[in-house]
Structure 1
Amino acid sequence: MIKSSVLQMEEDRLGMSITGDVTEIIKDTNGVIGISIGGGAPYCPCIYVVQVFEDSPMALNGRIQAGDEIVSVNGISVKGENKTEIAKMIQETEGSVKLGFNILHAELIDGYTLDIALKKMKHRVVESITTETADALGLSRAIICSDLLLQKLNRLEQCSQLYKELIKHLSALLNSHYHIAKTQKEFGDLFCQIAARESSTTTNKALLTFGNMHRTIEKHTVKLVKSLHPIVRDLKTFVEKAIPDTKLTLKKYLDAKFEYLAFCLKLKEMDDEEVEAASYDEPLYRVETGNYEYRLMLRCRQNSHEKFMKLRRDVMEKLELLDQKHVQDIGIQLSSFVKAIMETHAECRDAISGANGLFPIDIDLEQVCYRN
């Protein structure tokens, strides 16, 4: 009696439209097609797809999505039947299953309600607090909140700070070497000027050699600074471009995750509402008229899940590449940095060794000093 009254109710499609289609699904080795279904007698006139499982025959077929209505199995109409019976019919079919279905043409934007926005905000807040605080406030935490990618975001922040400190230190070191080079050149020019005024050949040669030694040190130091600038520039590129780009992708992923969790929470609340109504034997209006609001949320959840998984793969790839670059490049660059400094110090040592034995010398101060 309940079933007949439900079937007489006119479906309320909430402005959405449907079109009929038929597809044949070949079962996998486990004898399943990869969907879960909902609705059906005694309260709902429609049998609809709740979820299409990843990498299943149904997902690979790609024609039936969450929210679509199953109207026939192997040519037998199942309109208004019990979902358990429909599942049994599909399970007992050997090889392939021929399904007739109504495609739900829904505007996904209609599913993004204020309630979804608030639930999304709730998950964002819960993500940022500790488990103990969430429990104390009575806030539920989804399992997916224990996200390793969020931990990697924190690790990325620490890595970024490390690089910034390293760049600051290396830049200061290069700046110091540059000023040392200028000082060495000034010393060299000064000694060469003194040599030019010196009448003694021995003294002139000694001062000129000593001045040229300082000029040589200046040239080696400037060459060092120029050779190390690209290393600092590469580190800056890593900090200012590679890390921010990955963090932006990671934030997009987290936004998609919160959106997906919001739809999951919304559907859980709607399920609880249906169970409570059924316990009083008072079916909900939306359920009696085809449960189109629920089916819209199913479609939105599926779309959100696909976006979430795509962004997750993108983030994983970028983090993997970033980790490889961090591990490989930092070692190579720092090794090159140290090697360049050691080579410059060796060149400067050789230049200084050329001035051994020049002193002491005699200088006529009257020729190099200004008289009052």
Structure 2
Amino acid sequence: MKLRSLRIPRPLRGNGLDADCEVFDITIESGKVVAVEGAADQRSRGTVISSPVDAHVHIDKSYTVREVGPANGDLFAAISRMDRHSALWTEAHITTRMEKALHDAWHAGTRALRTHLDWKGAEPPLALAAFEQARHRWQGRLELQFVSLTPLDVFADVNAGRCIAQQVQRSGGVLGAFIYRNDDLVHKLGRVLDLAQEHHLSLDFHVDEGLDADATGLRTIAQLVIERGGLPGLRVVCGHACSLSMQAAEEANETLRLCVLAGIHLIALPTTNLYLQGAWSATPLERGITRVREAQAIGLRPVLATDNVQDAFYPYGSYDLMQTFGLGVQMAHLAPAQDWLGAITTHAAAALGLAWDGLIAPDCPADLLVLDAADEFELLDVRGHARTVVRAGRILERR
């Protein structure tokens, strides 16, 4: 197969590509890219990116908004509603929703995703068994990871924390927690880091998901990781960090510098946080997105991800990462947009520790998304989003 006259955005170009070219021909054989050469005709027929990576989703609760209802901007109301309704779920219900989410992501072109599973205490949730079966069914198509999403205060119970960590380790997952202005924050976070080191588990936190400037969970995580020498061999991911947008620039930038030293991966969730954060009694002035541009400028490689789809936390949306990317570009003024495509490809792959970094070059996997967008200014256009999904060197579908 040969893909002709396609733009490869500079952040996605691997070594050895002609620096003077903007438009390339890509030759594919046996599931791999075997050649990337400057096209004789430099008129673009579209844009090619590596298949996107969705680094933060919730497939256990997707598509439940019709039974739960939208929270209309109230994060803790959404949590309460989901807690009540989840008590009625069966594994079959969860499996059906997961399968729909994974099909949607797969056909949109996603190659890997990490889902958070609500995990409220020592016993594993029904969603874990449903996820493990889904991971088996989708092996070889979608690379699936999970995070145990547990309220931080649960880790004050030593036995409960150990049970969670042991089960996460057995199931090949990532240890996580929800952190927001908790009492005794340093001690409880220390317990989570202890468990991560003891069981050799990477970490993924929901942190500071609100607009209170005194929420400093992100800074505390970074400080504790630095004190422990960076947790060698383990990745630390932090999602949301909305409160960072409300803090003074000097304070926020100092937190970001600590994140660089700690090796933290920062994920912004534009759809859910635009919906949940800010006033609902009037037009909201706060956008609810973390300091993405400042993070990039200071040396972090920020990620954009889907988060919630059609549940109480965000009643709209889909598993098309290009839609999420487009909203993030507009919310945070990420321009030129093509320079930020790493946020859903290479940066996200690094956050999840994937084998392929997402750079397009000879010998990389032929898992590609070919967009009709001929240039920067069509990337967010409906027609520009029309795509051909290429998986393992074959066309999966044309949308």
If the TM-score is normalised by the length of the shorter chain, which range does it land in? Answer: under 0.3
- Normalization by structure 2: what TM-score? 0.20
CA radius of gyration, larger in: 1
- Normalization by structure 1: what TM-score? 0.21
Whichever structure has more helix as a proportion of its residues is 1
Whichever structure has more strand as a proportion of its residues is 2
